[in-house]
Structure formats: structure tokens, C-alpha cells
Chains A and B, each alone.
Chain A
Amino acid sequence: MIEISDLRKIYHMGNVEVKALDGVTLDIEKGEFLGIMGPSGSGKTTLLHMLGLLDMPTSGKIVIDGMDLSRLTDYEKTMFRLYKLGYVFQDYALVPDLTVMENVSLPAMLRKDRSEDQYRNDSNDILQKIGLYDRRDHLPRELSGGQQQRVSLARAMVNKPDILFADEPCANLDTENSRIVLDLFREINESMHQTIVMVSHEDWHKDYFHRIIRLRDGKIVSDGINGAKTH
């Protein structure tokens, strides 16, 4: 489903060249729950941003469902993100002035293939699935961190994306709320055969992943459950 070949990202900080990604090659299959792990500065988030079309690689190629992402125009990338991808961010990133329902519905409202009734039904369904339907008229500031992250997950899932990206979604949550959120990810992955790519630095999260990529200094140092396959 996702083919990554020799992906490189180089940042220039003054005269210093920083290789955030240094030749990453990787395939991700449909329905996989992939964890990207590694120490700080290893390139986890950079890789996720490249896959999620939030940033452009310096060189290399990403192909999703046979489409070379480097060939897309700015507008096509936006539409690709809207129709094909879903995102969950570390800090929830909800629109503070919108209610839970409005936040969840927002991406669906923009889709040309969804009527108002459809996106309302989809939003209701996903809110019921994450257990926050009763709080649909609340503003994000009226919810706990765990609840906000569940809303963020609902927003990412409302368009039924091909791939769900999550960037350390439990970084700001306690263990109990982290487990609730991760259980939801697992349930979505299993029940909907949803492809999920998640960045995490918590070792106990690996129990949820089908496959784990470990990065160090922008390179893949292991690939497989518990790092069984080593590069």
C-alpha cells in the first residue's frame, strides 16, 4: 500500500547539515498497525510527516496506492490528505471554537461526495464508537485530555481514510487514558481493517503494534515485531 524508497530529508541549520532521514526504504501493507519507535531526534516524526504529505523529502520516493506523491500539486496534496489520510496529533489540535460535533464533522463537510445527512450520520456514528456522543455539543476546553484525544481520533476517522497517521497520540496522557486511546486504535484497526502508522516512544505501546520500525539517526535499525528483522 505504501512504498518508500531511499527517502532522505536534510535540514540546513546555518552551515550545519542535519540528516533527519538518511535513506529510508520501507513497504507498509494495508491493514497493518505499524509503530515507528526510536529515541528523540531519530527521525520518527519527520518520517511520519513525509508519509502524511505534511512535508516534502529532499530526495527519494513515496508511492501510496500506486500514486507517486512527489508528482502532486499543492492542491492535489490537500485533496489527497482530505480524502485518503487521517491524522491524530500529540496535542489533539482541535479547533477550540468548534464543538466536539463540529470538530469531528469538519473534514467531512469539505468532501464533495458527502451530503449533509451523510456527514452528520458518520459523525454521530464515530462519536458513539469513541463514547463521546453525549458530549457532542461541548467545546474542547470542557473535555479532559483523554477525551480530546478521542475526539481528535474521531475527526481523523470520520472520512474513513485509507491510512491513519498518529504522532505520539499518548504523549500528553496518563497511562489509563493512554490505554483507552490505544485500545480504540486497536479496535479501529481490527474492526475496520484500518492501516495505522503511529509514532511512539513508550515501550509498552509495542504490544499494540503488528510491526515496529525502529529508527536511529535517520536510518531504520530494526523492522519487525520486537525488532526481529534487523537492517
Chain B
Amino acid sequence: MGKKELKVAFLLALRSLQRGSRSSVILTILIVGMCFTNMIFLPAMFNGIGQSITKQVVDYEVGNVLVSPQSGDQYVTDLGATLDLINGMPGVERATPHYSKGATLKYRQRILGVSVRAISPSDEKYISPLYTKMIAGSYLGEGDTGEVIIGKPVAGDASIREEDEFQPSLGGVRVGDSITIEYGNGYTKDYRVKGIYYTGWSQADSTVYVTWTDMEQVEGKPLDYADYITVKAKPGYSEKFIKDELQQYGVSQKVQTTSDLLSKSLGRALQSFAIINMVSLIVSIIITTVVLFIVITIKTLNSRKQIGILKAIGVDKEVIMHNYGFQVIILAILGIILGICLTLLLAMYMAIHPIVTPEWSATLYLTPIDLITNSLILFAAAILAGYVPAYQVSREDIQTAMRA
């Protein structure tokens, strides 16, 4: 098969698409484009959900690296010394402790069980964007006592009746209101609501934050221990680097990166996503292959006589086969370009208007590798679908084809 033959095959293909049935060409490109979008949409959305969850876990739960008690221990002890050690390491932006206690909130007739989390407000700012998520009032100050910030779902909405609420709340607490917190150890205290926040991460939004100083009052002693320490890495430092460094510097507690933690907790969910993605991918490939197979089969069957004539005047069967092959290649490329455009438009739209649920918010997470991989898979399927009928019809003998 020489250059001349390929050139003629390409000319025949191009002219057939240019001057043949325009509606058939447009419809085929649309179908390929939609199949490409279908192939990439679900995986990209699941990846978006995964990214969203990961970001929220990093932002509101564990930072980049989590230092937690060794197996058998309840708390990270010798807190002050451990924090000093970690904060002095290169690559560490800030380390800050969290300590949570189960409690019951009381506001007017409403009673709500929550987790009250003690934080160091100024250090927390380095770790978490919580302080930027205030929708009413203000964030906690370092020395605040007798004040809390609460999530919007905990505060509730006064206009919604208790029986109509999606999740239990205090029924419309506002900034400045006083709520009573009754801790598990029996300590009870009235707090002023200093601020209400909304992060979109349900676990953070269901939490009540108090200062470390306040929690020391609850415990009745200085808190030199914590449930865990969250560590934020400086830009350019990997989680793995920080983890290795902490272990080398002799931090005796359990040290885990966010990836370590998520691979366990999200592993099953990601496996389910992967299975759904695979099913979606296979269905899309089958649809594309079948559609292109039908399109090219119909084209070749309708052109059997013409194929016979071409062979009669000395056009080699390879030229005829590549003619249809090139048609499929052009249709597939245009369909894939359309699909990429549609997907990018959807991604832009969902970046502005993500799908938000109480658990996560989903955008389309696309990488160039995803786009390239899916394009190549679809392209290969299209070529297979086009060349099979083209190969069959090009091998038909001249008499049979001409009599068609």
C-alpha cells in the first residue's frame, strides 16, 4: 500500500463525507461525541467526589499528616513537647491538636447530642479554612471562654418545624444566643454562640468548636494530651516527606498521611466507583462500536455496486477498504473532539454549579491523561467497527458486487 493509494483512499473518504448524506455524518459525529461524554462523565464525577472528599478531610479533619495515639493508648500525651518538636521540623507549616468530647446541647425545648471539639483557634487557621466559612458572627479568638461556634445544621432554621427537619437541630439558634452544653463527665455550662459556620462537610458542620482554654475548664485540669495532632505541610513538601521526617525525628505516636487514611476508609467506595466506571466505559464502547459498525455496514452495502465498479476500473481492494477506514477515522476524530468540547463545557458548568449533597459536592475532575486514554480507547473501537465491514465488502468478487 503506497502513498498514492492512501491518497486516493483519503480523497474518496473525504468526498464521501463532504458530498454524501450530511445528516448521516452529523448524526454519527453526535453519537460518537455523546458516547465519549458518557464514557468520561461518570468516572470524572466520581473522581470529583473523591477529590472533594479528600480536600474536605484534609481541610476539616486531619490536615496532611495525622499524629494519633499508638495502639492501646487513648491520647497523644506530652502534647506540648510533641507540638514543639513537630512545629520545629522543616516542611511543617503548623501542627495543632484536636480534643473532642461528647456532649448534649440544650436550647429552649431542643436537646441535641453532638461532639464538642477543642481547638487552638489561631493555630487552626494554618490548618483549616474553617475561619473563612463563617456565615454569621465571628470565628473564635485564642483566649475566648464561654463562647462557641456552631455549624449551620446544628443551629437550625426557626422557620422549619422540628418534624420537618432533615436532621435534628437546635431549631434556629442565632449569634448571641445562649446555649447550654452538658458534657459526658457531668460538667454543664452556658455558652454564648459567637459564630455560625457552614463548610459543606457534614462532619465538621455537625460539630461545636470551643477553645482549648474552655476545654481545660471542662476537664478541670491543664490539657497536655489530645485525641490527635493534625499537621499541615508547607507548599512543595509531600505528605510522605513529612511522615518520614516525623518518624525519623522520633515522634513515637502513630503517623499517617491523608492518603494512608483515605486508602482505608475510602477504599471500598473507590472500588465501587471503579466498578461502575468500568461498566459505564464498556457500555459506551459497545454503543460506539455497534453504531459505527452499522453506519459503515449500511454505507458499504449501499455502495456495493460502486465498489464493484471501482474494482473493475483497477482500484485495489486495499484502497477501497481504507476509503471506509478513513471515513470512520474522520468521523471518530470529529466525534471525539465534540465529546471533549462537551465534557469541558460540562466541567466548567459544574465547577460553577457543583452537585451538592449533605456528604459531598461533586465537580468533574478531568485530567489530560483521562481525556487521552478515553480518546484512544474510543478511537480504537471506532477503527475496529469501521474496518471489519470495509474489509468484508472489499473482498467481495467484482461480479457479486456489481450485481448488487
Residues on A facing B (Cβ under 8 Å): 49, 52, 54-55, 75, 78-79, 81-83, 85-87, 89, 93, 95-98, 102, 106-107, 109-112, 139, 155-156, 159
Contacts and interface: CB of A to CB of B under 8 A. Distances in A.
A111 B319 CA distance: 13
B376 interface: no
Contacts of A96: 19, 306
Given A55-B399, A112-B2, 17 more contacts: A78-B311, A78-B316, A79-B314, A81-B314, A83-B314, A93-B305, A95-B15, A95-B309, A97-B12, A97-B16, A97-B18, A102-B15, A107-B313, A107-B315, A110-B314, A110-B316, A112-B4
B11 interface: yes
A110 B8 contact: yes
Contacts of B312: 52, 54, 81, 87, 89, 93
14 contacts: A55-B398, A78-B314, A82-B314, A82-B315, A85-B314, A87-B312, A89-B309, A95-B12, A97-B19, A98-B12, A98-B15, A106-B315, A107-B314, A110-B8
Given A106-B315, A110-B315, A93 B306 contact: yes
Contact of A54 (B4, B18, B316, B398): B398
A112 B315 CA distance: 13
A142 to B, nearest CB: 12
A78 B394 CA distance: 13
A102 B11 contact: yes
Nearest to A99: B15
Interface residues of B, number: 27
A80 B324 CA distance: 24
B15 A78 contact: no
Interface of B: 2, 4-5, 7-8, 11-12, 15-16, 18-20, 305-306, 309-317, 319, 398-399, 402
A79 B309 CA distance: 15
Given A97-B19, A98-B15, A109 B314 contact: no
A92 B316 CA distance: 20
Contacts of A159: 314
A49 B399 contact: yes
Nearest to A141: B19
Contacts of A156: 313
Nearest to B5: A110
Contacts of B15: 95, 97-98, 102
B316 A109 contact: no
A108 to B, nearest CB: 10
Contacts of A102: 11, 15
B391 to A, nearest CB: 15
Contacts of A79: 314, 316
Contacts of B306: 93, 95-96
B322 to A, nearest CB: 12
Nearest to A94: B309
Contacts of B12: 95, 97-98
Contact of B313 (A55, A106, A139): A106
A110 B19 contact: no
Contacts of B399: 49, 54-55
Contact of B7 (A82, A109, A155): A109
Contacts of A83: 314
Most buried by A among B7, B312, B402: B312
A166 to B, nearest CB: 13
Q: 6 closest A-B pairs (Cβ-Cβ)?
A: A82-B314, A93-B309, A97-B19, A81-B314, A97-B15, A54-B398
Contacts of A49: 399
Contacts of B310: 95
Nearest to A161: B314
A110 B19 CA distance: 22
Most buried by A among B2, B316, B317: B316
A82 B313 contact: yes
B196 to A, nearest CB: 69
Nearest to A86: B313
Most buried by B among A49, A97, A112, A139: A97
B398 to A, nearest CB: 5
B19 A109 contact: no
Contacts of B18: 97
Contact of A155 (B2, B5, B16, B313): B313
Contacts of A93: 305-306, 309, 312
A124 to B, nearest CB: 18
A95 B309 CA distance: 9
Contacts of A82: 313-315
A107 B311 CA distance: 10
Contact of B20 (A52, A85, A97, A110): A97
Contacts of A78: 311, 314-317
A118 to B, nearest CB: 12
A89 to B, nearest CB: 7
B300 to A, nearest CB: 14
Contacts of A86: 313
Nearest to A159: B314
A159 B315 CA distance: 13
B232 to A, nearest CB: 65
A65 B256 CA distance: 86
Contacts of B5: 110
B35 to A, nearest CB: 26
B317 A109 contact: no
